[in-house]
């Protein structure tokens, strides 16, 4: 290791280029002496051996000082309707939404064990094509399913997720079962406890059947075993980083799955695979036991085949756990029977014009109006993502500092310019002042966006990835992505962006679109 005395005025003269500065020779001599003291401090911090899950003090709160929110928690109200007959074909059962599966289990028309065996068989059969499973938990899942059935028989029904098999993105810790983060350096990693969300779903009676693939360290759809494929077109990846979660839900291999998003990792694979993905408000769902990528941006949310299913899952995940210093207790009052009247949805007019706009995007706007929603053009802050990029870059590099310093990043499968090893190295050159300035611009964006959304309940955006959805990752706003059509064998989606803690409104709007388009039941050509 080089001595701190290696930092000379000449060193600083070159380093100034990273910060777009120019010091005088006298200033460099003085700064070189002071900087050597910083280096000593950096080394002492490194010797402290911080683990990935140890978050910075303070955290991030998307709420502005003058904001007020509802505080009363009320019972969840599910949609009403006649329960369909249990199909004879296992494939038809596998593709049923959680809203229906749960009622079959509650009424004891379907056992959790039978449903779990259906999904295990499908996971084994289709994973050879999709590469979406890292660890199949067959033994544990069957034991949990039998327990759920015994409880149902004894009159102890835990709620709408009781006995429902689900899949976890493999960055959520599971006690005694490896959690690999999709990356070679961690492929044998075994956690000592369950992540909070895994624990909460256990308490809800859900049956964890598989650890699903993610792009290595939550980037893309390439993991240490393969590239996860879309069940709609296996020539294409399923997008990332919640690659396996999206593919498994779309292919009817699990009842639902959990994904995570820092910068598009729920929205993008949901769009590619045609599933419903809910990215909750930052801080609504605790991340204890989840791999940290960017502490002030990571979010955990459900990925499902039907919109209302996301409400059932979010209801089980919601609330602070006393460990995640960014998690906030906020009520989630979902009522599927509420009407949509008096809701106002905004849209950015240029996004719905021109040849690049799919006809389904414009149709979604028309269908919302037909549902009784007032839709009006909206002006949103014009902020360049580039000014905010240091936030993600620096936080991710800090989360994997040891990986870079140990050179174990050379074990990663992807080594391109856009892959983590290079991005982590590059981020180390971002000046600390540049990072803080980016967080200040983030604060300005939060205030400007709050003013821009005044009077609106949500914003409709086109299915393609867009700047507004990306920017709301920095502000912490929730999104709901849902399929509205299948065109030429490919799913087409739109994304709704909500007010902070406005997931209930997003889901009701999504349910209205889902009913009017009637595309949720179309299956990919995999069976």
Q: Which residues are catalytic?
A: 169, 241, 265
Quote the CA–CA distance of 263 and 240 in Å, as a whole number: 10
Beta strand extents in 204-332 (DSSP E only):
207-212, 229-230, 233-237, 256-261, 276-279, 299-304
Q: Which residues contact 14 (CB under 8 A, 6 or more apart)?
A: none
Omega within 30 of 0 (cis) for the link into 241: yes
Q: Which residues contact 75 (CB under 8 A, 6 or more apart)?
A: none
Burial class (CB in 10 A: 0-12, 13-18, 19+), 94: buried
Q: Please, are residues 213 and 246 in contact by the beta-carbon 8 Å criterion?
A: no
Q: Kindly calculate the radius of gyration of the chain based on its CA atoms and give it in whole angstroms.
A: 24
List, edge to edge, every strand of the sheet that includes 165-169. Answer: 133-136, 207-212, 165-169, 256-261, 299-304, 276-279, 479-487, 490-498, 458-461, 344-347, 374-377
DSSP assignment, residue 219? S
Q: Name 168's bridge partners.
A: 211, 258
Of 406, 325, 259, 409, which is closest to residue 53 (Cα–Cα)?
325
Backbone angles phi, psi at 345, to 5 degrees: -115, 130
């Amino acid at each position: 290791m080089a001595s701190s005395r290696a930092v000379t005025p000449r060193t600083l003269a070159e380093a100034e280029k990273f910060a777009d500065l120019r010091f005088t020779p006298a200033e460099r001599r003085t700064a070189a002496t002071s900087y050597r003291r910083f280096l000593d401090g950096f080394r002492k911090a490194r010797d402290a051996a911080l683990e990935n899950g140890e978050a910075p003090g303070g955290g991030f709160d998307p709420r502005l000082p003058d904001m007020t929110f509802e505080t009363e928690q009320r019972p969840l109200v599910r949609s009403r309707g006649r329960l369909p007959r249990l199909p004879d074909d296992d494939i038809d059962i596998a593709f049923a939404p959680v809203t229906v599966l749960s009622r079959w289990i509650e009424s004891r028309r379907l056992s959790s064990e039978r449903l779990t065996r259906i999904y295990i068989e499908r996971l084994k059969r289709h994973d050879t094509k999709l590469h979406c499973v890292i660890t199949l938990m067959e033994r544990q899942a069957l034991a949990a399913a039998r327990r759920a059935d015994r409880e149902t028989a004894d009159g102890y029904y835990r709620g709408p997720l009781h006995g429902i098999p689900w899949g976890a993105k493999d960055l959520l810790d599971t006690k005694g079962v490896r959690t690999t983060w999709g990356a070679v350096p961690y492929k044998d990693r075994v956690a000592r406890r369950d992540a909070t969300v895994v624990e909460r779903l256990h308490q809800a009676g859900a049956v964890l059947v598989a650890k699903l693939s993610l792009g290595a360290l939550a980037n893309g759809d390439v993991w240490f075993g393969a590239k996860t494929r879309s069940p709609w077109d296996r020539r294409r990846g399923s997008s990332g980083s919640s690659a396996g979660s999206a593919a498994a839900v779309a292919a009817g291999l699990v009842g639902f799955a959990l994904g995570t998003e820092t910068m598009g990792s729920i929205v993008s694979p949901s769009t590619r695979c045609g599933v419903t993905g809910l990215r909750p408000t930052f801080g609504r769902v605790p991340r204890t036991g989840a791999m940290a990528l960017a502490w002030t941006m990571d979010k955990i949310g459900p990925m499902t085949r039907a919109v209302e299913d996301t409400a059932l899952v979010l209801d089980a995940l919601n609330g602070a756990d006393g460990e995640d210093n960014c998690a906030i207790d906020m009520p989630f009052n979902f009522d599927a029977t509420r009407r949509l009247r008096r809701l106002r949805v905004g849209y950015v007019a240029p996004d719905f014009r021109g040849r690049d706009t799919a006809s389904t995007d414009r149709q979604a706007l028309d269908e919302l109006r037909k549902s009784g929603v007032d839709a009006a053009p909206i002006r949103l802050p014009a902020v360049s993502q580039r000014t905010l990029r240091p936030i993600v870059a620096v936080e991710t590099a800090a989360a994997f500092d040891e990986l870079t310093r140990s050179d174990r990043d050379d074990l990663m499968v992807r080594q391109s310019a856009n892959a983590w090893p290079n991005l982590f190295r590059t981020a180390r050159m971002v000046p600390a002042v540049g990072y803080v300035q980016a967080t200040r611009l983030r604060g300005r964006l939060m205030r400007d966006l709050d003013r821009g959304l005044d009077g609106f309940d949500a914003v409709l955006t086109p299915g393609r990835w867009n700047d507004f959805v990306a920017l709301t990752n920095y502000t912490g706003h929730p999104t709901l992505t849902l399929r509205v059509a299948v065109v030429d064998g490919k799913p087409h989606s739109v994304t709704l962006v909500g007010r902070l803690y406005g997931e209930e409104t997003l889901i009701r709007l999504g349910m209205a679109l889902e009913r009017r388009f009637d595309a949720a039941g179309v299956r990919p050509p995999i069976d």
